[in-house]
Homo-oligomer: A and B are copies of this chain.
Amino acid sequence: MASSGNRLNKLFAAPLSVINVGLASFAESLREQHIAVIDVDWTPPPEGVPRLTQTGGGIAIDDANAEVIRRILAGRPAIVGLGIARDVIPGMADNTLLHSGPPISWDRMCGPTRGAVMGALVYEGLVKTPEQAADMAASGEIVFDPCHHHHAVGPMAGIVSPSMPVWIIENQEFGNRAYCTLNEGLGKVLRYGAYGDEVITRLHWMADALYPTLADAVALSGPIDLRGMIAQALHMGDECHNRNRAGTSLLLRALAPGMARTCADSERLARVIEFIDGNDHFFLNLSMPAGKAMLEPAEGVPGSTIITVMARNGTDFGIRLAGDPARWFVAPAGVVEGLYLPGFSAEDANPDIGDSTVTETAGYGGFAMAAAPAIASFIGGTAQDAINTTREMYEICAAEHTHFTIPALEFRGTPVGMDVRLIMETGILPRLNTGIAHKTPGIGMVGAGVLRAPAACFAEAFDAVKAW
């Protein structure tokens, strides 16, 4: 007992650390006494939001949501091939450009989306210069449509033009397919709004060399399981949105034997491998359509308050509910709290942009932040902050994933299936990870960071449910 008492004395002799939940003023008075304080970002939930159990028309919401969750968790996304957008994406005409987020017209598009549109029209050979491209985009000749209206998703600006190669992902449980372009890397790239010669040259190399090499490999190897790959990556420090190093590594392992067997040009094969190795985000353009492929079969269950689409076009932030998948609920896109590349600052940042929040919607990305503490530290946080982020997201999700688990949480399933009712009841808004694009067309990436989704679209969606 002497030893035990001694240890107790040591505990209380040690410097005091306080965890402060709630009013910041409590923490301030402790800080004035030079006591270490950890603030927990917590506010009491809004009063007076009763649990909605039925829609206005009497549909039992919990039953509807259970069916939606069942479908999401049953999904088995796999790479089944690659193709050219105009050939494989339904409803894609030669004058169609797909973009991220909810619907938007050229006049309301943000800088990086305009920049990516301009670059895409140059890439397509429809114009010679970005200036001509801007004129064409404004002329009405081009049909702009959300990726989400075509079973596709696009990171950042998310521009998909007709001759771009895309991954074809099939949910092998339900047979539906989803599409996404190939990831270009970081920095001066189209999806961040850059459109210079190096961007266009890279896009042509991707179509001429990268695409056939990948397509031939997948054709030989057959479907490549993405659910298992995401599950593994979550055990290897990725959250599959802002960090994709493990996913990219595992993907290369899966693709490389087929590439070796089908690519007779050794130098092209080497350059393709170097391109993948040189871009730790290469897997993002697979984790995204994998999420889309898992979420789409859950759409159209009457009465469901689960969010199956959450996406931004750099101007607006939009969500859609499984119970009414045709309707967008929209609010202004938020400001990202980020870390900036040298030479850039918050003043350069465009608001939140891209379909990559499909990862959070599908139960990873920011919702699996506990799996990827390196991201938290990248923006000045701690591993504990990362755990707290995931813990908080359980509060607004209807389920825990049965296939995606987090080692640091004793292999607990990730939070999945945001329920707009829980968001309203708790006042907790979804936490998102994201890249940051320069607000001016033509520049590109300036940083990466985190933010919360805007409240207004959830409130509007919640009101709509009452009228269903």
Interface SS of chain A? helix
A371, closest chain B residue (CB): B237
**Contact, CB under 8 Å: A253 / B260:** no
- In the complex, what distance in Å separates the CA atom of A258 from the CA atom of B266? 10
Contacts of A107 in B (CB 8 A): none
Contacts of A254 in B (CB 8 A): 277
A267 within 8 A of B: yes
- A 230-242 binary contact with B (CB < 8 Å = 1; else 0): 0010011100000
Contacts A277-B256, A382-B410, A383-B407 given: A270-B261 contact, CB under 8 Å?
yes
A45, closest chain B residue (CB): B3
CB distance from A311 to the nearest CB of B (A): 29
A-B residue pairs in contact (CB < 8 Å), sample of 17? A3-B44, A237-B246, A237-B407, A246-B246, A252-B252, A252-B253, A256-B256, A256-B273, A256-B277, A257-B277, A258-B270, A263-B266, A264-B266, A374-B407, A382-B410, A383-B410, A384-B410
- In the complex, what distance in Å separates the CA atom of A106 from the CA atom of B380? 57
- In the complex, what distance in Å separates the CA atom of A266 from the CA atom of B382? 46
A17 within 8 A of B: no
A219 within 8 A of B: no
**Contact, CB under 8 Å: B249 / A260:** no
A220, closest chain B residue (CB): B270
Those of A261-298 within 8 Å (CB) of chain B: 261, 263-264, 266-267, 269-271, 273-274, 276-277
CB distance from A257 to the nearest CB of B (A): 4
Contacts of A236 in B (CB 8 A): 236-237, 245-246
CB distance from A5 to the nearest CB of B (A): 12
- In the complex, what distance in Å separates the CA atom of A235 from the CA atom of B236? 7
- In the complex, what distance in Å separates the CA atom of A408 from the CA atom of B410? 12
Those of A209-259 within 8 Å (CB) of chain B: 232, 235-237, 245-246, 249-250, 252-254, 256-258
Those of A388-426 within 8 Å (CB) of chain B: 407-411
**Contact, CB under 8 Å: B3 / A377:** no
- A 372-383 binary contact with B (CB < 8 Å = 1; else 0): 011001000011
**Contact, CB under 8 Å: B273 / A257:** yes
